[in-house]
Amino acid sequence: MTDCYTAITFAPVQGFIEKSRKLRDLYGSSFILSYLATQICNNARSYFNYPDTVTWPDDPVISPANINVAQGTPNLIFIRGNFPQDNAYRAMQTAWKDLLRYCRQWIETAVSKTPKDKAWQYTWERPWREWENHTWEFFWATGSSIEAARRQMNQVKYARAWTGINYVGESSTLSGQDSRAWPQLGHHASHNRSSTEEDSEVRDFYQQLSQAIDKQGATITIREQLSIPELVKRLVTIEKVMDRFDEIPNAETPQSFKKNRRWTDTPASAEDMERDTLWTGWFQGDGDQVGKYLNQQSQQAKTSHEKENSYHEFSERLRNWGYDLDEYLPSPEAISQTSDTLKLRKDGRIVYAGGDDFLGTLYRNMPSNPLKAKECLNWFYTFKPDIWSRHGQDISVSVGFVWASPQVPQRDILQHCRLAEKSAKTSGRDRIALRILFSDGKHLEWHCPWRFLTILEDYRDRNRKSETQNWTHLYNDVATLDSRHTFVESESDIAHGLLKIYFPVQLDQLPDTEIDKKDFYTLIQADSLDVNSDVLWNIYSGGKNRYDNQGIRQSTGILGDHSDYEMTTGEPDLPKVHDAFNTWVINLAKIGFHLCDNK
């Protein structure tokens, strides 16, 4: 039994990931974060005299569980015992410095001479050292229990200390926020040299770097002038560059860096080419109230060993689930890769799945047969019951899905993914928020509990005879009525009536297993909206909060928690309820028109 537990994390995480213009960079940044967390875990095992291959329950790292995969390692770490702060910080910094040093040395060796056969004068070592020392903010805390260490970590995060890196010279063409990396970065004072002359040298350098990686120059183009961290994100995805990383002298890399990288190259960065010309889908999800769930599990445990087991089992199940997540991506067809080999096609890529949070993209590299939004929805219909449930933990999940227009910057898409996920959380959790992002930056959004999502398949046009889904009439009806200010706060009869017309499902035709659909259509077929229906509200057994030992949520409603719509007297604010239902129906019509219509 131990009387001390250590909690460790570092930042920025979202910021580091979101400063990625290409899918390849997004993948590289995610892997770097996982790699740094892995090295902290491995160093902790070494400190307590355990090998990297140690298994539970001997493993001093309680969470994340050791599944021998560097990718998808969460950066929130819990360790049994007092793992010194200096050791943990040094492990992270050493791994980061080794990675930067290797990338810098590889470039200097691969691009040693200018196009005029003169030696490149590399004077950029100082900017690289600055990125070595000032990229990460490190947090460390201890406590007498895992819960106490977690609480102390939350307090430590309030006292942030950040050192920025001075801007030098022309900026990166990707983010525009940091200096572009080239051999003489920092050597010349800004604006003391002809920009034409310097730009010419920069283009020469990037052309040589591109050719050193691949002759086609597709991995890094001369139009891309990357900052140092952007350059590193790109290089770690390239097998040719990283082949010898484990051979760095004195590098603390006990676990192979390259063997667990799961990026597989596609010709000419096909994913990014598609995103410039076709609509693509992006999704970000997170388990609901995981901290409270783990605290509840911990409180039920009788001994510290049982508490550790509950945390570790949760981490192991979620990590294994995340590792396999890419296997569950849509696979509509098998395509021939060689004359004698068939490879199952995946319509997308999982960027990271570090436990209960994940990020992925859906696309198809076939311009003649692009991925449609409806195909993405077909996948999400099965996500909660058939994919998320595989980890076996009693937690729900909230997901934000963004159907993005061509040429929308990736950083904007990622921000909308995060906002859509947040919307799913604030709207009541255990649901998906569907968001359409247009090229002008405008967006539409509709959220829906998972248990009602398949109602999108039940839409029928006015004649009710056609099996095709032509959402145009509902879309036009809603647009006309909305422009005439027909939807008012005091009542929702019109919105309720529209659902009756366009969702004419007969209750006696639904199988007994379709309990949720029966509840929904019972609400729709009533004479007016039943504001007390379980379809509208999150229903709890006992208290109002899921993990307060008073109540367990039994079902999720369209409008979320009833308490959000109560007046100070405790009575429901009926105008607010009707207005929220009207908004839900209006947004349903808009989202259905753009995502579900058979166009």
Which of residues 136 and 464 earns the better pLDDT score?
A: 136
Note whether 345 and 362 are within 8 A (CB): no
Confidence of residue 172 (pLDDT cuts 50, 70, 90): low
Closest CA to 92 of 51, 54, 138, 46: 138
Question: Which pLDDT value is given to residue 100?
Answer: 95
Q: Is the pTM of this model over 0.85?
A: yes
Average pLDDT taken over every residue of the chain: 86
Q: What does the CA dihedral 529, 531, 537, 540 come to, rounded to 10 degrees? A: -130
pLDDT at position 250: 53
Q: Give the whole-angstrom CA distance, residue 513 versus residue 398.
A: 24
Say how far residue 105 (Cα) sits from the centre of its chain: 32
Confidence bin at 285 (pLDDT 50/70/90): very high
pLDDT at 388: 97
The values of phi and psi at residue 311, to 5°, are -65, -45
So what's the pLDDT on residue 193? 64
Say if residue 256's pLDDT is above 70: no
The pLDDT value recorded for residue 549 is 44
470 closest CA partner among 459, 455, 479, 454: 459
pLDDT band per the 50, 70, 90 thresholds, residue 214: confident
Percentage of the chain beyond pLDDT 90 is 61
| Segment 488-535, tens digit of pLDDT | 888 999 999 999 999 999 898 899 889 999 999 999 999 999 999 999
Q: Let me know: does 79 contact 63? Beta carbons within 8 Å.
A: no
Q: Report the candidate in 596, 577, 329, 599 with the shortest Cα–Cα distance to residue 444.
A: 596
DSSP track, 234-283 = HHTT-HHHHTTGGG-TT----S-SSTT------GGGHHHHHHTTS-EEEE
Q: Is the pLDDT of residue 547 over 50?
A: no
**pLDDT at position 464:** 61
- Output the pLDDT for position 165: 67
Least confident interval from 71-80, 207-216, 333-342, 458-467: 333-342
Binned at pLDDT 50, 70 and 90, residue 212 comes out as very high
pLDDT for the residue 97: 95
Q: Note the pLDDT tens digit of each residue in 239-248.
A: 888 887 877 6
Q: Each residue of 47-68: pLDDT tens digit?
A: 999 998 899 999 999 999 988 6
Beta bridge partners of 283: 360, 401
For the ranges 133-147, 294-308, 323-337, 404-418, the lowest mean pLDDT is seen at: 323-337
pLDDT of residue 537: 95
H-run or E-run covering 62: strand 61-63
pLDDT, position 251: 53
Q: If 0-12 CB within 10 Å is exposed, 13-18 middle and 19+ buried, where does residue 58 land?
A: exposed
Q: Picking from 223-232, 241-250, 315-324, 460-469, which range would have the lowest pLDDT averaged per residue?
A: 460-469
Weakest mean pLDDT among 113-127, 240-254, 412-426, 538-552: 538-552
- What per-residue confidence (pLDDT) applies to 221? 84
pLDDT band (50, 70, 90) for residue 298: confident
Q: For 371-411, what is each residue's pLDDT tens digit?
A: 999 999 999 999 999 999 999 999 999 999 999 999 898 88
For 88-128, what is each residue's pLDDT tens digit? 999 999 999 999 999 999 999 999 999 999 999 999 999 99
